Amino acid sequence: MQTFPDKAYWSAKAAQMEFPTQLFIDGKWQDAISGKRFPSVNPATGALLTEVAEADSADVNIAVANAREAFEDGRWSQLPPRERGRRLIRLAEIIERHREELALMETLDVGKPIHDSYHVDMAGIIRTFAWHGEATDKVYDEIAPTEAGSIGMITREPLGVVAAVVPWNFPLEMAAWKVAPALAAGNSVILKPAEQSPLTALRLAGLALEAGIPAGVLNVLPGYGPTAGKALGLHPDVDCLAFTGSTEVGKLFLQYSGQSNMKRVWLECGGKSPNIIFADCDDLDAAAQAAAMAIFFNQGEVCSAGSRLLVENSI
């Protein structure tokens, strides 16, 4: 069995690591129109990793226009599903080849243990892109059962431009959960990572281009929620927005949808999830271990963390 590398190994790699720092729009790296940048900090040490271009509404407008053009001209949306699938599977393979780099970049940017980044996050990301790549030519239309003389059909087709706004606790894995299915269906995507964790999202953009995802189909805009995030929520040419984060911000995206084009908004908002333990539990040790894992896994930074215990008085 292969031994997991020690701290010295990862420290040496970290010292040599280069970080992506620009916006990724239409297959090109570019600075924000405003010229603004914001710091990306290692939360474990407080050290500055790099400074990243800060997108705002002007950059969002350009990215949406390019994503719309890419969708309408069919460079991705009209590719045979099997070909889209091949490229997504290729992306999964490329991520596997860059697994150490991406895991270390995530650890430096977010502060989670490298063991978790490598074995949990990256494993899930690779599976997500591979699974959706394999599924692209297995999503069928339907004909509903109807009376004679009429026909009811369900046709599944891409929406258009999808915005994905993701949090800082599982930055690249949450991005994969949104980007992979959107791309598999033929959409163009604009990914806005959390300002605390922009680096792996930007690295994903370069790897996607290498995998054959055409320019303009995946764009990455690091920036702040009240500027870049809000601009995506209000943009009339964004057809759908997927968000994972706080209930407070989720409500804002619903408002932005109503104030603009009533775009579809898919929310995953955090909550207070209880563990309920009754006296007839036949293994209290297992229940205690599960409760500890539920609240402390990933530093307690989990959307569905078991953050309360409701325990019957007798135990």
Q: Please, are residues 161 and 237 in contact by the beta-carbon 8 Å criterion?
A: yes
Cβ burial, residue 208 (10 Å; 0-12/13-18/19+) = buried
Q: Please, are residues 309 and 284 in contact by the beta-carbon 8 Å criterion?
A: no
269 is a catalytic site residue? no
What are the phi and psi torsion angles at 168 (to 5°)? -100, -5
Question: How wide is the angle at C-alpha 63 spanned by C-alphas 59 and 29, nearest 5°?
Answer: 80
Distance (Å, rounded) from C-alpha 123 to C-alpha 103? 10
268 is a catalytic site residue? yes
User: Which amino acid, 145?
Assistant: P
Distance (Å, rounded) from C-alpha 237 to C-alpha 261? 8
Report residue 62 as tokens: 């350009």
Residue written as tokens 């530093």?
Answer: 299
Catalytic residue among 96, 100, 101, 268: 268
Distance (Å, rounded) from C-alpha 264 to C-alpha 36? 30
3-state secondary structure of 311: strand
Q: Which residues are catalytic?
A: 268, 303
